[in-house]
Amino acid sequence: MKCLILAAGYATRLYPLTKETPKPLLEVAGKSILERLLDKISVIDKIDHVYVVTNSRFAQAFQEWVGNFQYSKPITVIDDGTTSNENRLGAIGDIQYVLEQTGLHDDLMILAGDNLFDFDLRDFEQFFQEKEADVITAYEISDINLRRRVGIVELDSSAKILSFEEKPQEPKSSFGVPALYIYKQETLPLIKKYLDEGNNPDAPGHFIPWLIKHKPMFAFQFEGDWHDIGTLESYEEAQLVFAG
């Protein structure tokens, strides 16, 4: 299994913090977001290589950071060649770019480089092995306004995905979906098919409603904290939680 961390965004909502520093390298309670993610990934024995996809503006910062970081698995930084929000590939475009650059054909775990969570990724990977299918994560959201700002998934009693909507005004369930997935190796060629059909290359969640029309997918339900560092407020909130 390989792991891909999505880190090619420009994080303009976090300016001035991210004008010169990529968001995953911002520190949360004394440790960068990226390092916290790598701590989570390190315990999964099956993962034998970590890729970090970024843009031309921040590629050197990641290269330097990785060069000074001692880690149990090889880490490769991939520059997607973009320079701004206007010419970015989008998250799904970046996944396809990495597949083309590396030729990887293993199962693939994908994480957003700006998300923090406190559950054990080994449980998620075990769920993937048990289901023998593509899997995503989901967690219960009680606040209806928050539900309207995330992807919402509808599940049956076996945790199979029935529907997925990005930021719905009328959410069909209370299960929100962070950007954390494991795709089987035979699913990876479908990403190119999805893009070739002219579908949205941006948020990684857009691939899910398309994919469930082609094959079964399941959602691993976790409990605990999850932070999407998208604004100054969410960044400050994560600082408080992890410092506590």
- Blockwise average pLDDT, block size 10, the chain, 244 residues: 97 91 96 97 97 98 96 98 94 98 96 94 98 97 90 96 94 94 98 98 93 97 90 93 88
State the total domains in the chain.
1
pTM listed for this prediction: 0.96
CATH number at residue 161: 3.90.550.10
Nearest to 46 by CA among 218, 215, 182, 217: 182
DSSP-derived pairing of the beta strands 27-28 and 31-32: antiparallel
pLDDT at 106: 97
Distance between CA 165 and CA 145 in Å, rounded?
15
User: Around 7, how many Cα atoms within 13 Å sit in the side-chain half-sphere?
Assistant: 33
pLDDT at 225: 85
User: Which residues fall within 8 angstroms of residue 49, CB to CB, at 6 or more apart?
Assistant: 2, 3, 73, 74, 75, 76
Residue 69's domain spans which residues? 2-243
